Structure 1
């Protein structure tokens, strides 16, 4: 009897990302509902904040609706305004720049390093002006930036170092948690991140001088925390702010994810290592270029990416994988080339590394529940493209 291959539609799809419960997430959500712990004062919100504060050895951590919200709070805490500049990579999500623009500040875009796509410290040094107020590195793919050099630049020029650590939970550099070096840092718990709750984030406050005001900003500009703690006799409006709080339901799911951080990080690193080993032959013959991770970095395998030889080849590979029901994607359009930047921001100098590599970068599926069989399917498919 002749064997017939299954129709493509019968082949299970391998998504780019999938958020699934890994531990007690659903149990905690049920508890939050049954105990009426669903609001922003929920014990699950406090539990997540306590867990993160301990993890980062921070002065405090505030759970917020997103990393975008955390970045907006950072801009408020730094009192940014018109004329101020914040140095950041152009190769990042729009939220990194938008948070500063909303306060009237100007993003000063600089180039990245070709191996990691992290901000180039020497490009930062060259971009510092009397208007510079802060340095804002983005830890791309969960690989820590060169925080030692960036910290030196910040101290030497009386600038604030803040971190966009949206992708970096579970990562460290030189034995120090990524997200603990800057005065302030932003985390993301979006569904695409290593630890997720659908949509969520956190503001890490490492410099205690910012902590009291951070609570005011989150509580709509009120002194709610001081009032509830007994150090203020009236609950009133004292500062700018917004509704940057989260529900207990969100926090309940997140807590179950946080408790599994070490386990899920180990699994992601194993998948990342498997990809690296499997595609080394493609790099050896010049078909692709693989990412670089310094020995100093203990990355969290948030993303596995590779560089193709051209934009056209990248698009063909994405389409080929899609035909095999494997979802691969590109990443950011450099912000300095985006319509808003062209219309409203002073054009930066040429950023050759960003402009070249952003258009050749491809990301492969990598998620916590990904099976070895799914990893092998992706590896086989990528090899099939180049062999074909």
Structure 2
């Protein structure tokens, strides 16, 4: 079966849970071939809706609860704390806002450095630049596409204040090694788990292992809210300040607890919290998070099995998931032999009405990356992977 037919077959089985409602008038292979010859476009991303989004959204409008910190926000935050096992969870208007909160929690100053991969989305870096720090880009591991721990260790200096591992495609970084480095050098460990909802490393959920973690509920993620995210506080020393930042820089939480009569300005916060409209959609998704992740993992496994012959002949390299990790089916990626082949494949799939994209243009090669950040060592693996 061709690559295009494989994509259509797997999408027929899993994307949007169509298979749950499909009349079995033909085999899945026949349906895939029929779609391949038809006009149906297979998008890069298709949001899975649980069926409760409109109901909860309408409830918010009916109750006229439109601002932040209402019933649905509390439901989401309670679920995150209870299910993931974190000390604090704050629903934000975007994963980017959660990253910006994390950066503010560290009390960074000009000259401070934060180590992170160059192979990541731009806001992993920009959040810390906004807080005054300099991103130090290091290379990734060729097998996992995650930050190379050996390169992190070499990049640590007297200016280093934090390490920011990014769990690419919902596959956990080597958190044991990173925790040891952070402890040895008294550094904060901030997990960018934007891809990582319900994925685990050694039976611990991504985003709950470091001092601070963030999740994303962007439209392209497993659990969606349009634009939404969450800040996870695992080290209690950051909890009070996180609450104040989330409450726009005030001690309003203390007033709600009856500890003060009136609230006042205490921190340099902002409008980080998500509205109840957003929270209602996230809650509809969160209720079915386990089912959504299992569906995506099944699709991921089908792709892996059906593309293995191409990997065995050396045409592509498939994802590697370390034995200590359980991935969540967020992204299925593979590497081609060269940029030329990758670009030709994208165009070939486009002709077959299949959308495909590549990750990422490395931050160290971007105009803003060169202006605000710096590299440590040669990032040859990052450069190679980004082109394939």
- TM-score computed with the length of structure 1 as normaliser: 0.89
Structure 1: give runs of 5+ residues left out of the alignment.
361-388
- The answer on whether the counterparts of 2:72 and 2:283 sit within 8 Å (CA) in structure 1 is yes
Kindly indicate whether residue 371 of structure 2 is the aligned counterpart of residue 343 of structure 1: yes
Q: 1:11 aligns with which of 16, 39, 45?
A: 39
Q: Which residue matches 1:52?
A: 80
CA shift, 1:254, in A, is: 0.7
Tell me the distance in 2 between the aligned counterparts of 1:256 and 1:289. Answer: 36
1:169 paired with 2:189, answer no
The answer to whether residue 316 in structure 2 is matched with residue 309 in structure 1 is: no
User: Is 2:364–2:374's contact at 8 Å kept on the other side of the alignment?
Assistant: no
Q: Secondary structure at the match of 1:203?
A: strand
**Are 2:218 and 1:190 equivalent residues in the alignment?**
yes
Structure 1 residues 337 and 220: CA distance shift in structure 2, 3 A: same
Task: Choose 337-346 or 27-36, whichever is displaced more.
Answer: 337-346
Q: Pick one of 265, 288, 301 that aligns with 1:260.
A: 288
Aligned-partner Cα distance in 2 for 1:211–1:195: 25
SS of the equivalent of 1:306 reads coil
| 3-state DSSP of counterpart to 1:62 | strand
State the Cα distance separating 1:34 from its structure 2 match.
Answer: 1.3
Could you list the runs of 4 or more consecutive aligned residues of structure 1 that deviate by over 3 angstroms after TM superposition?
A: 5-10, 343-348
Work out whether 1:147 is the aligned partner of 2:199.
no
Q: Report the alpha carbon displacement of residue 9 of structure 1 after superposing the two structures with TM.
A: 9.8
Q: Structure 2 CA distance, aligned partners of 1:6 and 1:20?
A: 23
Query: Is 2:335 aligned against 1:293?
Result: no
Conserved? CA contact 2:147–2:173, under 8 Å: yes
Please give the secondary structure, in 1, of the residue aligned with 2:333: strand
- CA distance in 2 between partners of 1:9 and 1:95 (Å): 40
> 2:305 matched to 1:272?
no
Q: For residue 216 of structure 1, what is the aligned residue in structure 2?
A: 244
Question: Is residue 206 of structure 1 aligned with residue 234 of structure 2?
Answer: yes
Partner of 2:139: 111
Match of 2:209 in 1: 181
Q: Structure 2 CA distance, aligned partners of 1:100 and 1:248?
A: 27
- Tell me the matched-pair count: 356
- Matches of 1:8 and 1:355, distance apart in 2: 34
- Do the aligned residues in 2 keep the contact of 1:23 with 1:260 (CA within 8 Å)? no
Conservation of the 8 A alpha-carbon contact between 2:149 and 2:174: yes
Equivalent in 243, 255, 271 of residue 243 of structure 1? 271
In the TM superposition, what whole-angstrom CA distance separates every residue of 1:299-328 from its partner, at most 9, and x where no partner exists?
001100000111111111101111111001
Aligned partners of 2:373 and 2:169: how far apart in 1?
A: 27
Q: Give the secondary-structure state (helix, strand or coil) at the position aligned to 2:45.
A: coil
What value does the CA root-mean-square deviation take over the aligned residues? 1.6
- Which residue pairs with 1:130 in the alignment? 158
CA deviations 1:340-374 (Å, max 9, x no partner) are: 122343444211100111110xxxxxxxxxxxxxx
Measured at CA, do residues 6 and 259 of structure 1 come closer, stay the same or move farther in structure 2, by a change above 3 Å? closer
How far did residue 207 of structure 1 move? 1.1
In structure 2, which of residues 54, 58, 69 is the aligned counterpart of residue 41 of structure 1? 69
Q: TM-score, normalised by structure 2?
A: 0.89
CA 346–299 in structure 1, closer or farther in 2 if over 3 Å, else same: closer
- Name the CA distance, whole Å, in 2 between partners of 1:297 and 1:110: 22
Gap regions ≥5 residues in structure 2: 1-32
Change (3 A) 1:22 1:227: same
In the alignment, which residue of structure 1 is the partner of 2:362? 334
Q: Secondary structure at the match of 1:27?
A: helix
Q: 1:77 Cα shift?
A: 0.5
Instruction: Give distance in 2, aligned partners of 1:7 and 1:75.
Output: 47
1:65 equivalent to 2:93? Answer yes
1:38-89 CA-partner distances (Å, limit 9, x unpaired): 2213200111110111122111100011111111111110001111111100
Q: Give the deviation of 1:6 after TM superposition.
A: 9.2
Determine the structure 1 residue equivalent to 2:127: 99
- State the secondary structure of the residue aligned to 2:280: helix
